[in-house]
Amino acid sequence: MKRLLIVEFGPSRSKRFAKAVAAAQRGPGECVELEPGRYRVSFLLGTDAAVYRSLAYLLQGVRHWRATDVYQAAEPVSSYLARDIRVAGCPHRRWRGHEPGRPVKVEGAL
């Protein structure tokens, strides 16, 4: 089962904004500039570990910003809870002894 998760962020005066935009554009999600300084990144969550890593990396950098919104199926989701999303068959469960039901920690956050 695949789920669509959308992260909208910006504009921001943060020093990390440019790095967040670069991460969103180079990641596996579809990145679109909605208006100057406002971006929407769509992640199709399935079994590809790279998608989960990219989502977690982006959320670690932008979830604290007031201008960040996260949606699942057009419904708002807490950006803090979105980082801990688990899907049956998620490849993260098998990383380095990761226990199912526990959040995955991603190194090198924005």
Domain range annotation of the chain: 3-94
pLDDT, residue 102, reads 54
The single-letter code of the amino acid at 37 is G
The first and second tokens of residue 81, run together, are 């809870």
Level-2 CATH architecture, domain 3-94: 2-Layer Sandwich (3.30)
pTM of the model: 0.75
The whole-chain average pLDDT of the chain stands at 80
Residue 95 scores a pLDDT above 50: no
pLDDT on residue 88: 45
C-alpha closest to that of 72 among 60, 62, 61, 86: 86
Residue 22 clears pLDDT 70, i.e. is over it: yes
Q: Which helix (H) or strand (E) holds 65?
A: none
Cis peptide before 91 (omega within 30 of 0): no
Nearest to 56 by CA among 13, 102, 108: 108
HSE, side-chain direction, 13 A CA sphere, residue 47: 3
Q: Which two tokens stand for residue 51?
A: 């998608």
Give the mean pLDDT of 78-89: 60
Which DSSP symbol is given to 107? S
pLDDT at res. 84: 61
Banded pLDDT at 46 (limits 50, 70, 90): confident
